[in-house]
Structure 1
Amino acid sequence: MAELGHPHRLQIFQLLIKAGDDGLAVGDIQRELGIPKSTLAHHIAQLLAVGLMTQERQGRVQRCRIAAGKASAFVNFFVADCCEGLPGIEGLEAGA
């Protein structure tokens, strides 16, 4: 959870979830966030280190994707364990 506590890492995570299986090129993420490449590289390294995303070279492009299993486990933990009992959360636990 600490890794997603930084606004840029959370934005990267959200962008990759929205991108789905296709993922996003690093350049696309950088353009979307408007941050320097070196800063983005640092944030990507942090997300890679904890296993929330993967990265694959496709020619000259580094393609980033959400690590679906780890991301799903995180979301399930967050909703089921952290938010248990909060009003309006009940439907999310069942995948509604």
Structure 2
Amino acid sequence: MDKQNALSALGALSQESRLDVFRLLVRAGDNGLAAGDIAAYLNVRQNTMSTHLGILTRAGMIHRKREGRSIRYAANYDGMRGLIVFLMSDCCRGVPEIVGPLADEFARA
């Protein structure tokens, strides 16, 4: 991931409803959720949710798949991983005493 993609992803996640959508889709797993279900679960109007989903999709944080008349959204784990790696790539100069606890934290989450 380059700096421009990281900025796009961080910008997409920096809004409360979009962060809620992303976290919901991470919990939903590979099957994801239909757009209408996401809107209902988060109590957000469908047209507003459509805008949020578009922003997250363009930022590479989620992806969509058409299923008949509905669209199913799921977290893009590669996009999430890329963002985390980008943010952590300069971290701590590889000092095990610092990096180790961070890795342990990810493993517990």
| 1:44 correspondence with 2:57 | no
Percent identical:
30
Aligned-CA RMSD value: 2.3
**TM (normalized to structure 1)?**
0.82
Structure-2 separation of matches of 1:47 and 1:69: 14
Alignment CA distance shift 1:82-1:29 (3 Å): farther
Structure 1: state its 5+ residue gaps: none
* Contact kept in structure 2, 1:25 and 1:63, CA below 8 Å: yes
* Aligned residue runs from structure 1 range 52-91, under 5 A: 52-78=61-87, 80=88, 90-91=100-101
One-letter amino acid matched to 1:23? G
Select the structure of larger CA radius of gyration.
Answer: 2
Alignment length, in residue pairs?
Answer: 93
Structure 2: state its 5+ residue gaps: 1-9
Say which SS state the counterpart of residue 40 (structure 1) adopts: helix
Runs (4+) of structure 1 moved beyond 2 Å?
75-78, 80-85, 88-96
Alignment CA distance shift 1:77-1:91 (3 Å): farther
Structure-2 separation of matches of 1:89 and 1:34: 38
Structure-2 separation of matches of 1:89 and 1:31: 39
Quote the offset at 1:44 in angstroms: 0.5
**TM (normalized to structure 2)?**
0.73
